[in-house]
């Protein structure tokens, strides 16, 4: 009996110790999750997750939805048509040996035609004023004589070309309508690389498509865009974005996280014709300046000072003792030009125009072109490793008149 009593006491002590161990371990959360505890794990994890993470996602989603609802109605689809006069010249006779049946009918299509042959173009634009002014790309409406814009509510309005500026690829259209939605202008200069942007347009004919991305780079010029057909643009200061842009997006709106316009989507870098996440937009400040000049005076007037400039290479920077390659090396100055009158000489390095830094020769030309003729503007230069400032009275580049229907 004594042995049984001893065993009972031993088992009791072990049971008590095991129970105490469980209580101790659970108190310090030392026991691993089992199948039964797995259901409670999410509750424990959710309580440890910062509340800001899901809230930020919801806020971003709400912001995008709000932007699309606010800006989308101001974005229009553009259908442009040109009627070509038929040519009287016949195609040369074609050898018809061993040709399949029906081939003669096919070749007859290329003879003189009694009817005119239409040509079509499509793209995007956006309304920027209550009285119906629309911004788009020049290449969307160039040489077209019949233009129709379609609003998000399916209204179709006839548009006329107020003016075009091939040098910036900007065109201004005008429609007449009531209760027209309007997109608000933003400040592209304040936008920073890495900020969220939305592209709204009609890619591949899909009306009012919204894509999101970030600003990938700013101030893209000819040196950055080698391989792209941008030579026809005299003003090159593109915003680069990875928001998906495809054919049909041309002329569409690029807006910031507040829903304000910062650019006109105008070009893509692509080997397949589709988006590779490398799209380019004309800064809205440039487009707005062009639009206002076209509306007010009928011409786009740009500043000019009469200099030739070249890029500062790494070797040149080292030889001049420069900290980097930014700026433009003045290679030539036209006699009796505004630059000559302002004391600018060959060999000077132009660093800033009107307080804005010069990145490269193309950037220099863009900054000077943006100045109003007749104004006196400060120029910062480096000569013989010394900084100095001068003022130049801006001249006028030969204007390009607006083109009407």
Catalytic residues, by residue number, are 139, 169, 250
CA dihedral over 389, 395, 400, 401, signed as positive or negative: positive
| Alpha-carbon distances of 333 from 150, 307, 353, 369, rounded to whole Å | 50, 5, 16, 17
Nearest to 350 by CA among 367, 375, 373: 367
CB 81 within 8 A of CB 117: no
Q: Residue 94, SS3? A: coil
Beta pairing, strands 133-137 & 328-333: unpaired
**Cβ-count burial 70-107 (b if 16+ within 10 Å, e if not):** bbbbbbbbbbbebeeeeeeeeeeeeeeeeeeeeeeeee
Nearest to 260 by CA among 132, 128, 140: 128
Rounded to an integer, what distance in angstroms lies between the CA atom of residue 214 and that of residue 170?
23
Nearest to 382 by CA among 327, 331, 332: 327
Rounded to an integer, what distance in angstroms lies between the CA atom of residue 149 and that of residue 78?
5
Helices (H), 255-398: 284-297, 314-320, 338-341, 361-369
């Amino acid at each position: 009996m004594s042995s049984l009593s001893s065993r009972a006491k031993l088992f009791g002590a072990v049971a008590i110790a095991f129970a105490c161990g469980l209580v101790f371990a659970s108190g310090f959360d030392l026991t691993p999750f089992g199948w039964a505890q797995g259901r409670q794990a999410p509750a424990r994890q959710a309580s440890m997750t910062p509340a800001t993470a899901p809230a930020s996602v919801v806020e971003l989603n709400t912001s995008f939805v709000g932007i699309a609802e606010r800006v989308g109605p101001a974005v229009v689809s553009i259908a442009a048509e040109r009627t070509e006069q038929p040519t009287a010249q016949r195609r040369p006779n074609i050898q018809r040996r061993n040709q399949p049946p029906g081939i003669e009918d096919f070749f007859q299509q290329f003879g003189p035609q009694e009817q005119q042959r239409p040509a079509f173009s499509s793209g995007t634009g956006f309304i920027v004023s209550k009285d119906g002014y629309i911004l788009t790309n020049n290449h969307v409406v160039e040489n077209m004589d019949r233009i129709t814009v379609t609003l998000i509510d399916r209204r179709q309005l006839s548009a006329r070309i107020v003016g075009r500026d091939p040098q910036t690829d900007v065109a201004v259209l005008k429609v007449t309508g009531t209760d027209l939605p309007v997109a608000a202008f933003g400040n592209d200069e304040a936008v920073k690389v890495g900020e969220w942007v939305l592209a709204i347009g009609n890619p591949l004919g899909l009306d009012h498509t919204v894509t999101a991305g970030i600003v990938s780079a700013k101030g893209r010029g000819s040196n950055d865009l080698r391989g792209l057909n941008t030579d026809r643009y005299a003003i090159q200061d593109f915003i680069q974005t990875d928001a998906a842009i495809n054919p049909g997006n041309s002329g569409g709106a690029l807006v910031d996280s507040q829903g304000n316009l910062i650019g006109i989507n105008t070009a893509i870098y692509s080997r397949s014709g589709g988006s590779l996440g490398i799209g380019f937009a004309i800064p809205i400040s440039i487009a707005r300046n062009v639009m206002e000049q076209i509306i007010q005076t009928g011409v786009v007037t740009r500043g000019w000072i009469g200099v030739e400039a070249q890029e500062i290479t790494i070797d040149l920077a080292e030889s001049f003792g420069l900290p980097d390659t930014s700026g433009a090396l003045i290679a030539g100055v036209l006699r009796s030009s505004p630059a000559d009158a302002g004391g600018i000489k060959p060999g000077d390095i132009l660093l800033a125009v009107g307080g804005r830094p010069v990145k490269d020769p193309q950037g220099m030309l863009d900054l000077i072109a943006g100045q109003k003729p007749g104004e006196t503007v400060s120029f910062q230069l480096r000569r013989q490793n010394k900084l100095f400032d001068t003022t130049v009275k801006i001249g006028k580049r030969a204007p390009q008149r607006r083109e009407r229907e």
